[in-house]
Amino acid sequence: MEARRGFPRRREGIPGPTVPAPRGRLGGPSPRAGTGIANPPRRVYHPARLGAGDFGRRKVTTAAEAYFLDSPGGPLARRAIELAPPGPGEVLVAVGACGLCHTDLGFASGSVPTRHPLPLVLGHEVMGTVTAAGEGQAHLLGRPVLVPAVLPCGDCPFCRAGRGNACPRQRMPGNDVHGGFATHMLVPGAPLVPLDDAPGELDLRRLCVVADAVSTAWQALRRSGAGEGDAVVVVGAGGVGGFAIQVAHALGAHVLACDVQGERLRLMALHGAERTLAVGSVGPKEVRREVKAWLEGLGLATLRLRVLETSGTPEGQLLAYGLLAPAATLVQVGYTPHTVELRLSNLMAFDATVHGTWGCPPQAYPEVLGLIYRRLVALDPFVEEAPMSRLNELLGDMAAHRLTRRMVLDPRR
């Protein structure tokens, strides 16, 4: 259909391999052991956690720029930095684009603390090109890649069981380590997802949103067990929720989208939602009646009902939990720092199931990308490109709910 046509390919603008700049100061002290990125003197490092090597033995650095969060609630500061060459198992990625997520807003505002001390480079939806590779990662050199928002260790019991997104040693760019609001970043090479097989008409930069928004939606639906002919209710049709609606439709499910914004619902009616429900002006009981009538019209029992909460609001979480019915399944995707009071006895009474979900294991990314490559999931109507130099302005717009699309930021501008 018209809305699922490919996007203009602009591979020629994606940074490729470059010769590292000679060592020299670019606005700060030399890189300290443990991160490979220069920072002001008050920086606190955790070498064992970040896993980088001893940069004192490295001879060549790469000139880069990055946007640092220095204090909660303050603006992100653009600074010139030096990046040391990648150590064993690491690669240097020239960032082609980085998506802007509500999680970044939470970190920037201070409502959600980062796990790594400040200053920190935020950004966890990254697409780029590998420009230097450490020992064991030479096969990635020069290739376009996605940097998953969850970088598991790959060797613990969780990873071996296929639950790398729950890996206790995982790293999240922009949270545990420096992220993608930069021209370059150092990351482990093993979890990266090559993009060599992308169709020629795709703009690879826009695939950066797969690193969180699309892959998280995919993982949530897989966690729910949703499949062809099931009924999926998505509470919150923006961001991850919008992609969850598309993915559920691509899996052959019937989809009902709930949101407080009519414009979002109108867009999702064109991209996978066979039914939409504006919930801003109706009470939970009326919503439950509508969902029950919808299921009856489909001829489906509630054991085929899957509810995804993606709004990240207390109201959305209460509504989603209230939709549970006999043998139904709820997957909690959105985050709110606020406390929500629930009657857990409903789970017993309904023999219902509730799952949490976090990110997506890197090995699932090829399936996620396949939906986009086959034009079953559209990106173009849901993303918008902007210069990374507008980062602080766009964070303000996000806080004021003025953004209607997921922003894809270009570090070259």
Read off the pLDDT of residues 5-16 as tens digits, 9 standing for 90 and up: 333 333 434 444
Write out the CATH class of domain 2-208+362-410. alpha beta
Pick from 23-27, 54-58, 217-221: least confident = 23-27
Is the confidence at residue 294, as pLDDT, over 50? yes
Is the confidence at residue 49, as pLDDT, over 80? no
Are the C-beta atoms of residues 94 and 183 closer than 8 Å to each other? yes
CA dist 195 → 130, 151, 365, 369, 381 (Å) = 11, 17, 10, 9, 21
Domain boundaries, the chain: 2-208+362-410, 213-356
Cα–Cα distance measured from residue 246 to residue 228, given in angstroms and rounded to the nearest whole number? 13
Cα–Cα distance measured from residue 311 to residue 238, given in angstroms and rounded to the nearest whole number? 7
Is the confidence at residue 45, as pLDDT, over 50? no
pLDDT in tens, 246-279: 999 999 999 999 999 999 999 999 999 999 999 9
| pLDDT of amino acid 23 | 33
Write out the CATH class of domain 213-356. alpha beta
In this prediction, residues 373-384 reach a mean pLDDT of: 96
| pLDDT of amino acid 43 | 29
Is the confidence at residue 122, as pLDDT, over 60? yes
| pLDDT of amino acid 61 | 87
Is the confidence at residue 347, as pLDDT, over 80? yes
| pLDDT of amino acid 59 | 52
pLDDT in tens, 174-191: 999 999 999 999 999 999
| pLDDT of amino acid 46 | 31
| pLDDT of amino acid 3 | 36
Mean pLDDT of the chain: 86
| pLDDT of amino acid 337 | 87
Domains 2-208+362-410 and 213-356 share a fold: no
In this prediction, residues 320-336 reach a mean pLDDT of: 96
